[in-house]
Amino acid sequence: MKRRWVLDQAVRRAIEETWEVFTNKSRTPNPALFLARLTDLARSNAFLWTEAGVSVQEHATRMVPVGQSLSRSLVMATVAADIFVGYTTLNEREKWLPSLVKPRDWELQHQRSANRVLETAASLGGALIKACQFASTRPDLLPAVYIRTLAPLQDRLPPRPWSEIEKAITRELGQPPTEVFAEIEREPVAAASIAQVHRAWLHDGREVAVKVQYPDIENLVTTDLAVLEQIVKAVARLAPAIQLQPIVDYLKETLPLELDFKYEAESMTKLRAALAHRSDALVPAVIPDLSTEHLIVMDYIHGIKITDREAL
């Protein structure tokens, strides 16, 4: 299903980006400029289909940790090459043929690159989602089109299937969720980059939120950070004006803490005690006996939208 999504997205992007070039033809009286844009489009589309192919391969190798690591690295490297070649081409053309590079060309390149980053993050997940979420709040690091394009990743992420979540809960608690909970909803109330939340009821009638960490997320994050570090170093050498190191530094500092649910549970418990006297502050109560390093069960708080930035 995910592989079909990757191919569908590639078709949609190819059509959209081709349409953008041809609908502006009437505003491009210079035939040489239009030909240059067609050349940029052809190169970008070639990369797009290469990226779709390696993304499909990555999904096919997800059951093999070593193969998945190599496939993820290949996907990220291909996208990085696509973006770098696009900007380098415009820079060189502007240097030698300035009449063939207009502000519109930079807009098209920004949008194509932002699209590639968005689709890659949505397909691979892991640390890439966190990187995009952070980047979409930093207009000082990236052009406005990136901020606008990546913003949906803040709280609109596809959930993992129930079969994966059920196995994760069983592994963490030593028994299937049907035995631990009187009832648990298969559809999550929220899904984010490292976990998703399901509504459930204990056998004593209490309504709870079950926050489940994705089973493969630690390995994915480790792989992603290592690859991102190398890509950022290469970009820094070849294009010093692009400042991506702050994003990697942020991820290296925050992700280990976010992956440790025991640390999060302890922090929530301390915060709940500190705000116990406040009637305007609601902090869920953690249920220690049902919480682990990769799973948190807490009181369900009604009327609060759980998003990645707030609770996931």
pLDDT in tens, 114-173: 999 999 998 888 889 989 999 899 888 888 999 999 998 876 678 899 999 999 999 999
Global pTM value: 0.83
The residues facing 76 across adjacent strands are: none
pLDDT in tens, 198-227: 999 999 999 999 999 998 899 889 889 988
Using CA atoms, how far apart are residues 188 and 124, in angstroms rounded to an integer? 20
Place of tokens 């996931």: 312
CA distances from 10 to 14, 45, 122, 142 (A): 6, 9, 13, 24
CA distances from 31 to 27, 36, 100, 101, 117 (A): 11, 9, 10, 13, 31
Cβ atoms 43, 191 nearer than 8 A: no
Which among 311, 9, 292 is positioned nearest to 188, based on CA atoms?
Answer: 311
Q: Which residues contact 36 (CB under 8 A, 6 or more apart)?
A: 93, 97, 100, 101, 105
Q: Tens of pLDDT along the chain (312 residues)? A: 677 888 899 999 999 999 998 887 556 568 899 999 999 999 999 999 999 999 988 877 776 666 677 888 899 999 999 998 999 999 999 999 999 999 999 999 999 999 999 999 988 888 899 899 998 998 888 889 999 999 988 766 788 999 999 999 999 999 999 999 999 999 999 888 899 999 999 999 999 999 999 988 998 898 899 888 888 887 777 666 667 889 999 999 999 999 999 999 999 999 999 998 988 888 999 999 999 999 999 998 765 444 443 344
CATH of domain 158-312: 3.30.200.20
Q: What are the φ/ψ torsions at residue 134 (nearest 5 degrees)? A: -70, -45
Using CA atoms, how far apart are residues 105 and 93, in angstroms rounded to an integer? 11
Cβ atoms 32, 100 nearer than 8 A: yes
